[in-house]
Amino acid sequence: MEFILLIISAILVNNIVLAQFLGVCPFLGVSNKVSTAIGMSGAVTFVMVLATMVTYLIYTYVLVPLGIGFMQTIAYILVIASLVQMVEIILKKISQPLYQALGIFLPLITTNCAVLGVAILVIKKDYNLVEGIVYGAATAIGFGLALVILAGIREQLELADVPSGMKGAPIALVTAGILALAFMGFAGLV
């Protein structure tokens, strides 16, 4: 039951992008098409779960025993950058169209504060390894859910009669704000 509450909380109640405002750059930048949003969600999920696992192990078995816990952020950034490079190489070989569609946003996962934020939150919330991995996966799913929903809405807005001053980024920001308000409705769920 504890894991179910953790999953529901990470996906809906404390959504990383809509409630905690981490990862807003790729959230707005990659949400033009649903297909690109799904690809980015997959890449972020893969990196976030692996980064959570590896950073937890590094913190617990290297940084703390050596008494250099203050090096946490620097070590996490190096791990995340390495994982993103690995994902980039894999995507380039497996799915060239997805690799090209993600463009500059794939390397930006390295600086996606949602990935770094989850790795730090796992330690801050004192989760064990399994709880940390579950939290990382659920948070990534929540990020992907918000990203795909916004992408779907933005695709529909392309067909709508939007005033010229609101086209593009302004209507995307208004839509993201309304989406965040909608997710606030889940606050009493957990």
Give pLDDT tens digits along the chain (190 positions): 889 999 999 999 999 999 999 988 888 888 889 988 888 888 888 889 999 999 999 999 999 999 999 999 999 999 999 888 888 888 889 888 878 877 776 777 777 889 999 999 999 999 999 999 999 999 999 999 999 999 999 999 989 899 989 988 899 999 999 999 999 998 887 7
Could you tell me if 84 and 106 are in contact, meaning their C-beta atoms sit under 8 angstroms apart?
A: yes
Q: Is residue 129 domain-resident? A: yes
Number of domains in the chain: 1
Q: Is residue 35 domain-resident? A: yes
Q: Is residue 3 domain-resident? A: no
Q: For residue 53, what are the CA distances in angstroms to 30, 62, 120, 131, 161?
A: 26, 14, 11, 10, 46
> What is the reported pTM?
0.89
pLDDT of res. 187: 87
What is the residue range of 163's domain? 8-184
Q: Is residue 104 domain-resident? A: yes
Contacts of 102 (CB under 8 A, 6+ apart): 30, 36, 39, 40, 43, 91
Q: Is residue 1 domain-resident? A: no
* Nearest in space to 38 (alpha carbons), one of 178, 126, 148, 130: 148
Give me the long-range contacts of 28-32 (CB less than 8 A, separation at least 24).
28/150, 28/169, 28/172, 28/173, 28/176, 29/105, 29/108, 30/102, 30/105, 30/147, 30/151, 31/147, 31/150, 31/151, 31/154, 31/172, 32/151, 32/154, 32/155
